[in-house]
Chain A
Amino acid sequence: DQQVKQNSPSLSVQEGRISILNCDYTNSMFDYFLWYKKYPAEGPTFLISISSIKDKNEDGRFTVFLNKSAKHLSLHIVPSQPGDSAVYFCAASGGGSTLGRLYFGRGTQLTVWP
């Protein structure tokens, strides 16, 4: 049962434009959300996170938006650069019996072309 879903397996964007990666979740106990970036043959690298008490968190070119009522979050990359080409994973964590573990989506392959 996939509790975190990334419905777009791939996204292609021109350099300089905005990339928007989407993520949906089903478990209302989730209260911390993270985005990871993964290059081939490497482990995931932490990118940015947001807690459920906020609806936006910004770090340089990366902004994460959280819509709790819709159980939806998105990652915006502006401007996109060719080096951003990677697989992006959305992850979520919460309390109770799920404490500690991260639930991951299946990832979105972002390609930024010149």
Chain B
Amino acid sequence: GAGVSQSPSNKVTEKGKDVELRCDPISGHTALYWYRQSLGQGLEFLIYFQGNSAPDKSGLPSDRFSAERTGGSVSTLTIQRTQQEDSAVYLCASSDRTSGRLETQYFGPGTRLLVL
């Protein structure tokens, strides 16, 4: 079956521009997560959506970052006024929360963002 997909796979932008990153989760998965991995670092949690509940935004590093999930499926992560320190791989994951709390998150291939 289809896994998590993300687009674009690579994005180069200039400092100060806005970018949008897209995630299509596995069909039927109710939970969706965004993480980022900076060079030499582990994955850092950004935001989490579960069904119709209010998202957990506690990992967003600044108010330049926002995300939405439309129709309980596709999600868009938006970074406004990008800075060079935003350069990272942005990873989306989804999980089937209905199977119980101890669910496994499945990751997409990521979007490599480079801010010049």
Residues in A lying within 8 Å of B, measured CB to CB: 2, 4, 6, 31-32, 34, 36, 41-46, 49, 51, 89, 91, 93, 95, 99-107
Contact = CB atoms under 8 A, between A and B. Distances in A.
A4 B104 contact: no
B90 to A, nearest CB: 10
Chief secondary structure at chain B's binding surface: strand
Residue from A34, A101, A107 with most neighbouring chain B CB atoms (10 Å)? A101
Contacts of A106: 40-42
B42 A89 contact: yes
28 contacts: A6-B42, A34-B105, A41-B109, A42-B110, A43-B4, A43-B91, A43-B107, A43-B108, A43-B109, A44-B43, A44-B91, A45-B107, A46-B104, A93-B102, A95-B101, A99-B101, A100-B33, A100-B50, A101-B33, A101-B56, A102-B33, A102-B35, A102-B43, A104-B35, A104-B42, A105-B42, A106-B40, A106-B42
Interface of B: 4, 6, 31, 33, 35, 40-45, 48, 50, 56, 59, 91, 93, 101-102, 104-110, 112
Contacts of B59: 101
Given A43-B109, A46-B106, A49-B104, A107 B42 contact: yes
A51 B100 CA distance: 12
A43 B112 CA distance: 11
A41 B91 CA distance: 11
A46 B106 CA distance: 7
A95 B101 CA distance: 9
Residue from B42, B50, B56, B104 with most neighbouring chain A CB atoms (10 Å)? B42
Contacts of B101: 32, 95, 99
A106 B39 CA distance: 10
Given A43-B108, A51-B102, 15 more contacts: A32-B102, A43-B107, A43-B110, A44-B91, A49-B102, A100-B31, A101-B45, A101-B56, A101-B59, A102-B35, A104-B35, A104-B42, A104-B43, A104-B44, A106-B40
